[in-house]
Amino acid sequence: MASDATAAAPRVTPAVLSARKGGTPIVCLTAYTYPIARLLDPHVDLLLVGDSVAMVLHGHKTTLGATMDMMILHGQAVMRGSRHACVVLDMPAGSYEESPAIALSSAQRLIDETGCDAVKLEGGVDVETQIAAIVSAGIPVMGHIGLQPQSVEKDGGYKIKGSTDAATASLLADAEAVERAGAFSMVVEGTMEPVAAEITRRAAIPTIGIGASAACDGQILVIDDAIGLTVDRVPKFVKEYARLRDIVAEAAARYAAEVHARRFPGPEHVFQPKGTKES
């Protein structure tokens, strides 16, 4: 149960985060479950229910495995565990690209069925009208430019962006489009450091970096990467602040050994009839 102080504190809003441009860096992490949301909520400004959940929790090879139902299910869990942070839900691939009307319908469904504070979608110039339609309806939008995981198959893999003058110009145009459409912030992912820094200098809205630049207005990591629970390849841009996969594996090994040796459960873990003395 939340403390009185936590319960009384207002939730961080997209408008509050937008006003942080150029100020104290914005702290963001992904969250997909109730207990993780509870643990992270006091320490972050923003919790992103990312479509990375398809890979991290469901074992898909890419984020294309995420669906609206999946995002709503995990969004509801995170909202139950969060009291302080701004909660943003990713719009999964296929839910917004076709038209502004479809984008708005999908965004409205995410908001209505989870109570989240904002939605996020990938793209720049190509989704400017979609972002504008959603924002015009009163739903805050976080943009996402640079490396776009939903486009990884089309791009032929995870390729760092901004390595040529033409690619840099395209990124700057994307950033301008996202801002022009009314987004309150934008993720800049997998982008050459000088380019990400330049985008941040030019943009009037906060940039949230991941594999980008320390100059960004905030940073985000996938929580399983940050705490060392990732069981597959750990990206270059990740810093592991713990190695929980080792702790989990060791705990499972100890549990298995105690079960095999009949040391678990012990007397303190079982129930005896009243009046029975524990040995």
Q: Which two tokens stand for residue 3?
A: 């403390």
- Between the CA atoms of 214, 216, 220 and 226, what dihedral angle is there, to the nearest 10 degrees? 0
Kindly name the residue from 122, 179, 189, 198 that is annotated as catalytic. 189
Q: Tell me if residue 189 is catalytic.
A: yes
Burial class (CB in 10 A: 0-12, 13-18, 19+), 1: exposed
User: What's the rounded Cα separation, in Å, for the pair 133 and 69?
Assistant: 22
Count Cβ atoms below 10 Å from residue 160 Cβ, excluding itself.
Answer: 18
Nearest Cα to 68, choosing from 98, 89, 99, 38?
Answer: 89
DSSP for 9-68, please give it. Answer: SPPP-HHHHHTTTTSSPEEEEE--SHHHHHHHGGG-SEEEE-TTHHHHTT--SSGGG--H
In contact, 122 and 148? CB cutoff 8 Å: yes
- DSSP bridge partners of 237: none
Phi-psi domain of 157 (left: phi exceeds 0; alpha: psi -120 through 50; beta: other): left
The CA R_g of the chain, rounded to the nearest whole Å, is: 21
DSSP state of 228: T
- CA distances to 30, 36, 45, 238, 248 from 39, in Å: 12, 5, 13, 20, 17
Q: Which residues are identified as catalytic?
A: 189
